Amino acid sequence: MHALTTREFRLFQSLVHREAGIFLSDQKRALLVGRLTPRIRALALPSFGAYYDLVSADRTALAQMIDSVCTNETSFFREAWHFDFMAKTLVPEWRNSSAPVRSRTIRVWSAACSTGEEPYSIAMCLRHHLPEEEGWRIEILATDLSTRALRAAQDAVWPIASAETIPEHYRRAFMLKGEGSRAGLMRAGRPLRSMISFRRQNLHDAYPESGPFDLIFCRNVLIYFQKEARIRLVKRLTSLLGQRGYLFVGHAEGLNAEYGVRAVAPSIYVPIPGSEKGAQ
């Protein structure tokens, strides 16, 4: 198989940006080669150029290519202070303003859920602090660009080693340990799985008409967008937040007023009133 030429890299760079809104900088060239080479070999194609021709003409092949390019690095309770903020700041706030002032339904969007560790971490934290027997309902929409990652998230099965970052009391309450042929694996229990619905969503496309949300998690995604696209994305996300809604981003994705938000804690933001107008 021929090496990736500069012209071919530019073609893939443009295609990924157009289809997914993700900008592959020149520093991502080696990553692109590593992600696409297995697909090209599996299809017995002679070159990156031949693969580009295929994905340009076949939407199924294109979706598989985007799947391959997407980064699905994640873990349970990643950026743990976000969950501390929910437990120590938001839960008391919600309890103090519950019915008749507000509904006892908490709605969350995990906007880049990868293989599911994020939405299940959110579900464990919220269900522990807002039990069903007290009338609290937790609804979590989990979306991702990658169909492969979404299938894994819906299965809700992970290696036991993944449980190391789950607090023990959560693990005992919500996770099932595999036995027999499933030894070494764990699965989220049915009550936890019932709180989460999954959907493929390209953040570059029209959004689900599912707002308003109390919380939107869009962590470690903005770094793949150029500045203008980041601003547009943040404003679109915050337009779907309800009154007193919060946006959570990755620790390396600092935002400012230019994005129409203000920080309430590290990497946790609320919209500046009126700033989200026209975001759609």
Q: Which of the residues are catalytic?
A: 35, 144
Residues facing 265 on adjacent strands: 268
Non-local (6+) Cβ contacts of 178 within 8 A are: 157, 160, 184, 185, 186, 187
Q: What is the DSSP string of 95-139?
A: HHT-TTSS-SEEEEEETT-TTTHHHHHHHHHHHHHS-GGGT-EEE
Instruction: Note whether 157 and 185 are within 8 A (CB).
Output: yes
Q: What gap in Å lies between CA 82 and CA 70, rounded to an integer?
A: 24
**Cα(278)–Cα(147) distance, rounded to whole angstroms?**
30
